[in-house]
Chain A
Amino acid sequence: MEPFLDYLETLKELIDRVRDDESPKVAEIADLLAEQVLSGKLIYLWGPGGHSSIFSEDAMYRKGELAALCPIYDPNISLSHGAAREINGMERVEGFARVVVEYHRIGPGDVVLFGSAYGINPVAIQGALECKAKGATVIAITSPTFSDASTYGGARHSSGKSLYQVADYYLDSKVPYGDAVLEYDMLEHKISPVATIMQAIVLKALLAQTMVAIGKKGGNPFTWTNSLQAGGIEANQEYIGRIWGKVKSM
């Protein structure tokens, strides 16, 4: 029993499964995202859930990351104004998804990349449905295994559907049901969740594939420079000016 190593080994196994099972799907999705960027559009990125919101935040204004993203962090659907407020309440206010979609003016021809490991909460499902109703394409990074096994009836969308069932495309992050992965005799419950890490890994891999796809098509995707390094702020400033106002989280 070596919990530190056990955790890392479990992550390695999950990553291997993502590599083996999801790689065939990635090219098509990355191509779609690349075309979006090459046409001058931004890719919306939304983690519609308490911890899921970290998914959007992590990609924002990061050294080496694709800048043509519009990460959505809504204070109602994040942990920043109270974890219990969000998880026990806000993500179950189904109608709030429409507020987010309308406020960010998501419309025909847009692509929205959703990240929700559990893939069941009402705002996430309703958000995907609202985006599709507006004519946008929905791509999800989620765990169907988790969604299918979930018995969290009180926390589900009124349709009973899961994110992978309403998305146009999805990548499976392989988060196991229950999220926590380590089990030891002296502890009553399983410990050590993996959802945030696995979701972020799949996202990072997909965005890497997308940036290279843009390059192969003759484009040169703008990526962020570390603003802490000398000249970093200046290197980013022109692009910030281009998306300022459009990307509310900038």
Chain B
Amino acid sequence: MERYLSQAAAYLPSLGQNQKEIRQAAALLAETTNQNRLIHIFGAQPFTSSLIGTVFFRGGGLANLNPILDPSLDIAHGAWRSSLCRDLEGLAPCVLDYYENIQPGDAILLLSEDPSSRMFREAVEHALGKELRVIVIAPLFQKTAEGCIFIDLGPAENLADGMMAAAFSIVLDVLLQKAAEGCKVPPLWQGRGFPKSSSNEKTLDAYLERIRHL
């Protein structure tokens, strides 16, 4: 435990180097929310896909977060199977095109622990092609695609030894919290008695048909 905590203490503060990008990204997400648009979030590998659960439908979280959760990357349908899907040509566009609620001008958060995977590269390319405003959270993303805000998790080796979940969660929590602070009236799930409360019922009514996985 001491070793883990030491490694965490050495690595996690380095995420602070992204303050400028996080501010930019938060402002973009706030603007998106103020326009009554959805914020889409897609994890391009099985692990990053499952991490979406840390921010979706959580008390205090933004209600306009639209997760893209595809069975291709769901380890419930086979861990090895999902890893075989990572490099399939044409899969990412197929997944993104299915969500009718993705509109040009919306924001999308793309998470990847392996920016070299075809799934991730095609997702970035396709999202930009759909005129989405793209925020990438990944280790050492080669900026092959212009027009993204890139939040850098540092060298991939830093994400080993159980640091990955912490890194992604911290960045997502900070980013979405800052985005909510920048909204005129942030649509938030109310934490008290979550998910059962009268204000959550109104929020549910507002988003149930807009967000497929709600």
Contact = CB atoms under 8 A, between A and B. Distances in A.
Interface string A86-116: 0011101111101100110000000000000
A89 B94 contact: yes
A76 B89 contact: no
B40 to A, nearest CB: 16
A217 interface: no
Given A75-B71, A76-B72, A96 B98 contact: no
B71 A81 contact: yes
A84 interface: yes
A204 interface: no
B196 interface: no
A39 B19 CA distance: 64
A82 B213 CA distance: 11
Nearest to B87: A95
Interface string B74-94: 100110110011001111001
Given A76-B72, A90-B94, A96 B88 contact: yes
A75 B91 CA distance: 14
A102 B84 contact: yes
Interface centre among B70, B74, B81 (most CB of A within 10 A): B81
A133 B20 CA distance: 52
A248 interface: yes
B178 to A, nearest CB: 33
A99 B98 contact: no
Contact of A88 (B71, B77, B81, B98): B98
Q: State which size class the interface on A falls in.
A: 20 to 34
B131 interface: no
B88 A85 contact: no
B192 to A, nearest CB: 33
Contacts of A89: 94-95, 97-98
Contact of A75 (B77, B80, B89): B77
Contacts of B88: 93, 95-96, 99
Contacts, number: 46
B81 A103 contact: yes
A98 to B, nearest CB: 8
Contacts of B71: 75-76, 81
Interface string B43-87: 000000000000000000000000000111010011011001100
A14 to B, nearest CB: 34
A60 to B, nearest CB: 16
A75 B74 CA distance: 10
A81 B69 CA distance: 10
A96 B80 contact: no
Interface string A66-82: 00000000111000011
A103 B98 contact: no
Contacts of A95: 88-91
Contact of A248 (B72, B78, B84): B78
A78 to B, nearest CB: 9
Contact of B84 (A88, A92, A93, A99): A99
Contact of A92 (B80, B81, B85, B94): B94
B135 to A, nearest CB: 24
Contacts of B84: 98-99, 102-103
The 7 closest A-B pairs by CB, nearest first: A75-B71, A89-B94, A85-B98, A99-B84, A103-B81, A95-B88, A93-B90
21 contacts: A74-B77, A75-B71, A76-B72, A81-B70, A81-B71, A82-B98, A85-B94, A88-B97, A89-B95, A90-B94, A92-B90, A93-B88, A93-B90, A93-B91, A95-B90, A95-B91, A99-B81, A99-B85, A103-B78, A103-B84, A248-B78
Interface of A: 74-76, 81-82, 84-85, 88-90, 92-96, 98-99, 102-103, 248
Given A75-B77, A85-B98, A99-B88, 20 more contacts: A76-B71, A76-B72, A81-B70, A82-B98, A84-B98, A88-B98, A89-B95, A89-B97, A93-B88, A93-B90, A93-B91, A95-B88, A95-B89, A95-B91, A96-B88, A96-B91, A98-B84, A99-B81, A102-B84, A248-B78
